Amino acid sequence: MTAPIGYFVHHQGRGHAERAAAIVSALTPDRPITFFTARAEIFPPLPPHADVIAIPSLFEPPATSPHGFDHDRTPDTLHCAPLGWQTITHAVATIAAWFDAARPGLFVTDVSAELAQLARIASVPHVAVLQHGDRADPGHMAAYEGAVGILAPYHASLEQPGRPAWMTAKTHYAPGVGIDARTLDRSEARAALGLPIDAEIVLAVGGGGGSGTPATPLTLGARAEPDSLWISIGEVQQEWHATPPDNLRHMGWVANPEQWIAAANRVVSSAGNTTVHMIAAAGRPWIVVPEWRYFDEQLWKARMLGAAGAAVTLDHWPSHALAWRDAWAAALACDLSRQTRLIDPKAAVTAAAWLDRLAGWRDAAQTPDLIVAERIA
């Protein structure tokens, strides 16, 4: 009997689900997978050996306003653990009941420090997905220390300083896992998208986990380059005082961001994990402007991209034309091979093999302690 793997997937943005689906699709078909998430629709197509159990959100209040102890102080060992939310009680009970019934070989958390600790308390080996950011707090460190492995969905060269040796010793790096690493031809991409073949195209890329790219800085950049075509994909924050020129187009959310990136000459983006790796795979002069995230996740990823020489990183969006000009000059001087080296086309395959090995300890029909328990009963 092959023990199943449980997999919690956070529903903010798309990256958590996309990398989870890529890894699971690379797993051997005889390893059953059960996903737990608050939004089943965020997944791309999944293989037959994977199923999805919908649970209430751990982060959004229930429809009925809680009372009593909801205002109580949260311990340092937890991040989001309000009291009195029946939705959280039900989600935790669903996962705990599955632990007991399925007897999994492994539980992966992408991401929840609370569920990582739940797995450890329930005596289920777990793997914690590691993201950039200030994560030396007791809650994160308890999740990492209690894990049998840590999965980092980025290249080891982007690892931020200060990680303890015991963390890096059990970390598996999966650079670019979840993206399509194939290099697309610029001319073919433009033809498919109906874009002019000879134009200088600047693409602004916003991820799905935040409020979007501010439109006003893009109007400044586009007006400073009247002979270029500026395009944005993803959410855009509009402001009343923005004066968009004719060479700026907002396309909104698109299903094929890799094709738009391939069509571009230059790219400016946020620092979401999926966004970063799609652009790195293409290799383009690149400006990164991090969005606000918990624990300064995007800020740290941007810092490490800058330290690796892969992109020009800014603390905030350019506020005038000269700032854009200086940033693009620095981006054009970057060695683009430093971007493409951040991607491993086999990242999903090697990550799946690593998880399969970790889960293999329970690949027996029954464990002796359970046999004894059943005989006593």
Q: Which of 8, 5, 208, 210 is nearest to 113 (CA)?
A: 8
Q: Any idea where the domains of the chain sit in the sequence?
A: 5-178+345-376, 186-340
Q: Does 245 score more than 70 pLDDT? A: yes
- Region 157-179 average pLDDT: 97
- Region 288-312 average pLDDT: 97
Q: Which of 324, 204, 214, 338 is nearest to 268 (CA)?
A: 204
Mean residue pLDDT of the chain comes to 93
Predicted local confidence at residue 315, as pLDDT: 95
Predicted local confidence at residue 148, as pLDDT: 98
Q: Does 366 score more than 70 pLDDT? A: no
Share of the chain above pLDDT 70, in %: 95
Q: From the centroid of its chain, how far is CA 36? A: 16
Predicted local confidence at residue 212, as pLDDT: 86
Over residues 129-159, the pLDDT tens digits come to: 999 999 999 999 999 999 999 999 999 999 9
Predicted local confidence at residue 181, as pLDDT: 87
Predicted local confidence at residue 369, as pLDDT: 53
Q: Does 65 score more than 70 pLDDT? A: no
Predicted local confidence at residue 209, as pLDDT: 66
pTM: predicted TM-score of the whole model, two decimal places: 0.93
Topology agreement, domain 5-178+345-376 and domain 186-340: yes
Predicted local confidence at residue 79, as pLDDT: 93
Over residues 268-282, the pLDDT tens digits come to: 999 999 999 999 999
Q: Does 53 score more than 80 pLDDT? A: yes
Query: Residue 1 contacts by C-beta under 8 Å, 6 or more apart in sequence?
Result: 363, 364, 365
Predicted local confidence at residue 377, as pLDDT: 39
Predicted local confidence at residue 158, as pLDDT: 98
DSSP of 99-154, one letter per residue? Answer: HHHH--SEEEEES-HHHHHHHHHTT--EEEEP-SS---SHHHHHHHHT-SEEEESS
Q: Does 376 score more than 50 pLDDT? A: no
Q: How far is Cα 52 from Cα 233, in angstroms, rounded to an integer?
A: 29
Predicted local confidence at residue 182, as pLDDT: 86
Q: Per-residue confidence at 195, pLDDT binned at 50, 70, 90?
A: very high
Per 3-state DSSP, what percentage of the chain is helix, strand, and coil (rounded to 5)?
Answer: 40, 15, 45
Over residues 307-335, the pLDDT tens digits come to: 999 999 999 999 999 999 999 999 999 99
Give yes or no for a cis peptide into 111 (omega within 30° of 0): yes
5-178+345-376 falls under which CATH superfamily?
Glycogen Phosphorylase B; (3.40.50.2000)
What is the three-class DSSP state of 92?
Answer: helix
Q: Does 107 score more than 70 pLDDT? A: yes
Q: Does 97 score more than 60 pLDDT? A: yes
186-340 falls under which CATH superfamily?
Glycogen Phosphorylase B; (3.40.50.2000)
Q: Per-residue confidence at 11, pLDDT binned at 50, 70, 90?
A: confident
Q: Does 108 score more than 80 pLDDT? A: yes
Share of the chain above pLDDT 90, in %: 87
Predicted local confidence at residue 114, as pLDDT: 97
Q: Does 103 score more than 70 pLDDT? A: yes
